[in-house]
Amino acid sequence: MEERIERAVSLFKEGYNCAQSVVAAFADMYGLTEEQALKMSASFGGGIGRMRLTCGAACGMFILAGLETGATRGDDREGKSANYQLVQQLADEFKRRNGSLICAELLGLKQPEGTHEAEARTEQYYAKRPCSKMVEEAARIWVEYKLAISD
């Protein structure tokens, strides 16, 4: 599973957003192609559409949680509750390790940047942002969850 964590970080460094990087690293485990995973998670980067809200890496984890435990019937209250419980556990662990779930806070922004323009991925971009660490942590938390349920 360590290779999946490395794959997530590698995808981020190739230019994919935080959510895409996390989801695509595990896509095959859920019968998805990489392209499907990249498309379904594309809107969650930059703290959801670059609004600097919930961290994209955490959102990627939550998408995986839905693929793992998501209810498929509208009246499945037990299934919904189980999924929400997992999401909350993942969120708590992410916050414990990183201090926040909020993209703007993780980036040290006093207020969201307010632009939809994606930034160029340069050395300076990677040097000033903790995003690759967030991707690594989200992927690691997911791996730890998967290993725990397989025991």
Predicted local confidence at residue 60, as pLDDT: 98
Predicted local confidence at residue 112, as pLDDT: 61
Closest Cα partner for 90 from 143, 126, 16, 46?
143
Residue 13, φ and ψ in degrees, nearest 5: -70, -15
Predicted local confidence at residue 113, as pLDDT: 63
pLDDT tens per residue, range 52-94: 999 999 999 999 999 999 999 999 999 999 999 999 999 999 9
Predicted local confidence at residue 6, as pLDDT: 98
Q: Is the pTM of this model over 0.85?
A: yes
Which residue is associated with the tokens 């967030």? 134
Predicted local confidence at residue 126, as pLDDT: 78
Predicted local confidence at residue 7, as pLDDT: 98
Cα 131 off chain centre by: 10
Closest Cα partner for 67 from 83, 89, 90, 91?
83
Beta bridge partners of 54: 102
N- to C-terminal Cα separation, the chain: 14
Predicted local confidence at residue 114, as pLDDT: 63
pLDDT tens per residue, range 30-46: 999 999 999 999 999 99
Closest Cα partner for 104 from 73, 68, 129?
129
User: Which sign, positive or negative, has the C-alpha torsion 88, 91, 96, 100?
Assistant: negative
125 pLDDT higher than 90 = no
Structure tokens at 123: 């050395």
pLDDT tens per residue, range 93-115: 999 999 999 999 999 987 666 67
